[in-house]
Amino acid sequence: MESISVSKFKEKCLSVLEDVRKQKKRILITKRGEPIAEVVPVENHEKDVPLKKTVIFLGDILAPVAEEDWEVSK
């Protein structure tokens, strides 16, 4: 894995990010030789939202609560 100092990353941030995106490579960012962050390419944005389109609406969440339901909730 390629590494780059945080100061060089600040200088070349946009080109480093473009390299990560195009070449699908990971970059380790270091400060004084110690790893502080890792930049990784996004593989598939849709994989990041596995629960998308899985919500089921059962009712109006803003509607007033019935008195018997309110008592049960206490």
44-54 residue pLDDT tens: 666 666 777 78
Structure tokens at 64: 């007033």
Contact 65, 73 (CB under 8 A): yes
pLDDT digits (tens, 9 = 90+) for 13-63: 999 999 999 999 999 999 999 999 999 998 766 666 677 778 888 888 788
Contact 16, 38 (CB under 8 A): no
CATH of residue 13: 3.40.1620
Q: How far apart are CA 1 and CA 10, in angstroms?
A: 19
Query: Is 17 buried (19+), middle (13-18) or exposed (0-12) by CB count in 10 A?
Result: middle
Residue range(s) defining the domain that contains residue 18: 2-73
- If one counts the domains in the chain, the total is 1
